[in-house]
Chain A
Amino acid sequence: MSERPTAQELTEAIVEFLGGEILPTLDDPRLRFRMLVALNALSIVHRELAALPTEDDSEQRELVRRIRAGDVPPGTLAHVKADVEARLRVASPRYLDR
């Protein structure tokens, strides 16, 4: 599944925010230094994620194509819901306690 933003794109957004908006507001030299180190660590994660192969989403695309064509056999919803649940366990696990 190719969820967007990908983990790599998310780390990139955080690097931009911390480096562009938070770092300039830090006056404490010790905090500034630690922020630079943290940004460096995050950049390592970013590059490591960039090296990963892209996930195959052909099955999802085929499913979407069939639903669009009105081909919705029994069990489709259960299958789709289980998939959303798996994504939520990563994106927002507390939402599943609802």
Chain B
Amino acid sequence: MTTSAIDSDDRTEMQEALEALLGPVSEPVLLAGGASKEAWSVDAGGERLLVRRAAVGVIHRHTLSLRHEFEVLEAAYEAGVKAPRPILYIEDLDGREAFVMERLDGETIGRRIVRMDVPAGLAVEMAEELAKIHAIPRDRLPFLEAARLERMVDELDEFGEPHPAIELGLWWLRENRPPARESVVVHGDYRIGNLVVDERGLVGVLDWEFAHVDDPVRDLAFGLVRAWRFGVTGKRLGGIGDAEPYVERYNELTGADVRPEELDYWELAGNVGWAIGCLTQAQRHLRGQDRSVELAILGRLGAEVEYEICHLLEQAGV
């Protein structure tokens, strides 16, 4: 069976299922990327829509169900965060969970964004949207779970592979933890690659499936992780700008007074998390949940993140 034959059957069924709910729609187009969730582009009643649907047989721990992801998107949209307008949650779309949201125009591919002529104000806009996210009342989304740093250790131990660099990172994080801040609703994956950007700036925040309750600075610092600079390593904030104006604006809006060493701490934590994330992705291939060269190779490319962990530990004076 070829991939295109599967797509074509799927597309027809998808179109019929959507038309039952939304009326006549254009032919759905399956967009690239997203192993655990599919993204379909479709137009209905003059509106440009995006349908997110669960992929077949993929159970991904530590991410929100589509129902909860939709509720988070609703809360964010209500709070005035630039995000796609949520339209409809569908419990059973041709046998799978899905939701429909507005399809935003702009670039999402990190590698392209860092080479675009983005306005200098993008860093400040990123801070503004994040401040709005962190202000969403926790009781608005009672199902969100609190993160524990220890979960990273549990995940690492499941693989049974020795990774001394990750272990050193975890050791340093345990020894140097800054005073805890009050936990807030966080995006959980706030970085270039999960934002829609155009030449005027930030268009919208996407990919809410990692939302949870956590230290706000962890969320703030995740976008500094070197892997999300997409090769433009001199610009610490996602390859698009310096960290200072971003953090200053965040401090101004939230009154948080984030200190540089706190930011460094959580940047290192972000790297440790992503190093473990690479191993998790490779495991999905190795365990046969989702066979793909793309996932497999992350098991090896994780060495890049481990190297960065070593570099940051050196900077920290270890």
Contacts and interface: CB of A to CB of B under 8 A. Distances in A.
Contacts of A96: 307
Given A67-B171, A88-B304, A92-B301, A13 B162 contact: no
A95 B171 CA distance: 25
A14 B282 CA distance: 14
Interface of B: 2-4, 161-165, 167-168, 171, 233, 282, 285-286, 291-293, 296-297, 299-301, 303-304, 306-307, 310, 313-314, 318
Contact of B167 (A21, A64, A88): A64
Given A5-B286, A21-B3, A24-B2, A67 B168 contact: yes
Contacts of B286: 4-5, 9
A81 interface: yes
A81 B162 contact: no
B307 A95 contact: yes
Find the residue from B162, B168, B282, B297 having the highest chain A CB count within 10 A: B162
A17 B297 CA distance: 13
A67 B3 CA distance: 46
A70 B176 CA distance: 13
Q: Interface majority SS on A: helix, strand, loop or mixed?
A: helix
Contacts of B2: 24-25
A81 B165 contact: yes
Contacts of B299: 3-5
A63 B163 CA distance: 9
A57 B162 contact: yes
Interface string A36-54: 0000000000000000000
B164 A10 contact: no
B100 to A, nearest CB: 29
Given A21-B3, A68-B167, A80-B165, A13 B291 contact: yes
A25 B310 CA distance: 44
Contacts of A14: 293
A4 B167 contact: no
Contact of B168 (A2, A3, A25, A72): A72
Nearest to A90: B300
B167 A81 contact: no
A91 B304 CA distance: 9
B296 A9 contact: yes
B300 A80 contact: no
B2 to A, nearest CB: 4
B168 A77 contact: yes
Nearest to B153: A68
A81 B313 CA distance: 10
Contacts of B285: 5, 13
Given A14-B293, A21-B3, A76 B168 contact: yes
Contacts of A17: 292-293
Interface in A54-77: 57, 60-61, 63-64, 67-68, 70, 72, 76-77
A68 B163 CA distance: 11
B164 A4 contact: no
A88 B162 contact: no
Contacts of A2: 161
A60 B164 contact: yes
Nearest to B310: A81
12 contacts: A4-B299, A5-B286, A10-B293, A13-B292, A57-B162, A63-B162, A64-B163, A80-B168, A80-B310, A81-B314, A84-B310, A88-B304
A12 to B, nearest CB: 9
A92 B308 CA distance: 13
Interface string A1-40: 0111100011001101100010011000000000000000
Contacts of A91: 300-301, 303-304
